[in-house]
Amino acid sequence: MDRLTTITISHYCEKARWALQRTHLPFEEDGHLPILHVPAVRRAGGQRSTPVLKTADGLLKDSTDILRWVDQRRPGILFSEQRGEEEALEDRFDEHLGPATRRVAYFHLLPRRALVLQFLNTGVPGWEVWFLRIFFPVAVAMMRRGLKIDAAGAERSLKKVREIFGEVNQRLSDGRPYLCGQKFSAADLTFAALAAPLLLPPEQPVFHPTPEVLPPAFQALVAELRATPAGAFGMRMYREERTRVL
């Protein structure tokens, strides 16, 4: 069976997971915590980044490559005759939205040790949770350094999030149900998955704390973004499309 190696809470891994589950392609997930994922990724044949999908056809080391591979096996589900537009949006969200939402979410969450430990222990080996509890300050310092998580970086990233949400707001202003028209596509999936760290849709299968448990500034940001057309769209994609299998 195909094997998906992930950082379980990663929104890029959620993007790949969603595509595989939507198209009913069988796979098993090998989930890990950030930093501790590296040995598993290297055993799978990758370097450091996730997701990595090991298949009979070879190794796929990127969420976009995984979506293309899924499309080859289930044509017409993730891409349509508007493929060029869908791929362009997917690429923009991958390159700009995903890094920005990750940095902002971690900026708010990493100072809250109990909250991080509560929501990072799903679908990962028990020894990794133990390791994180013992070496939490070291792991946080490594994540801050590796992802450039500081107040200035979070502010720049939040500006980028609002910029992309504004673009999606404009795209949806003509009343279209999906980003590229009348049909759900990889563009919709990618936007919803990569926006999820700041929308926290309850249908997200791994990381979905209720806003009430978050720091007040993070609560306010989630409420602000959910109230936009783009945020409401992302929430609707999870509500209506996340568990749909074709």
pLDDT, tens digit (0-9, with 9 covering 90-100), for 29-61: 999 999 999 999 999 998 889 999 999 989 999
Burial grade of 127 (CB within 10 A; 0-12, 13-18, 19 or more): exposed
Q: Which strands, in side-by-side order, build the sheet including 58-60?
A: 27-32, 2-7, 52-55, 58-60
69-84: b (≥16 Cβ within 10 Å) or e? bbbeebeebbbbebee
Is the pLDDT at 238 greater than 90, yes or no?
yes
Whole-number Cα distances in Å, 217 to 49, 70, 142, 150, 151: 30, 38, 24, 15, 13
Share of the chain above pLDDT 90, in %: 85
- 3-class secondary structure, 124: coil
Pick from 29-33, 63-67, 118-122: least confident: 118-122
- Start-to-end CA distance of the chain, whole Å, equals 20
How do 2-7 and 58-60 pair as beta strands? unpaired
Q: Give the H or E element holding residue 127.
A: helix 126-134
Is the pLDDT at 179 greater than 90, yes or no?
yes
pLDDT given for residue 209 in this prediction: 81
Q: Which two tokens stand for residue 118?
A: 């509560």
Q: Please report the domains of the chain, with CATH numbers, ordered by start residue.
A: 2-73 (3.40.30.10), 83-241 (1.20.1050.10)
pLDDT given for residue 117 in this prediction: 85
Q: Which two tokens stand for residue 96?
A: 């700009």
Is the pLDDT at 229 greater than 80, yes or no?
yes
Asked if residue 42 lies in contact with residue 5, where contact means CB atoms within 8 angstroms, the answer is: no
Number of helices (H) and strands (E) in the chain: give both, helices first: 12, 4
Residue ranges with strand state E in the chain: 2-7, 27-32, 52-55, 58-60
Task: Please count the residues of the chain.
Answer: 246
- Dist CA 204 CA 30 (whole Å): 18
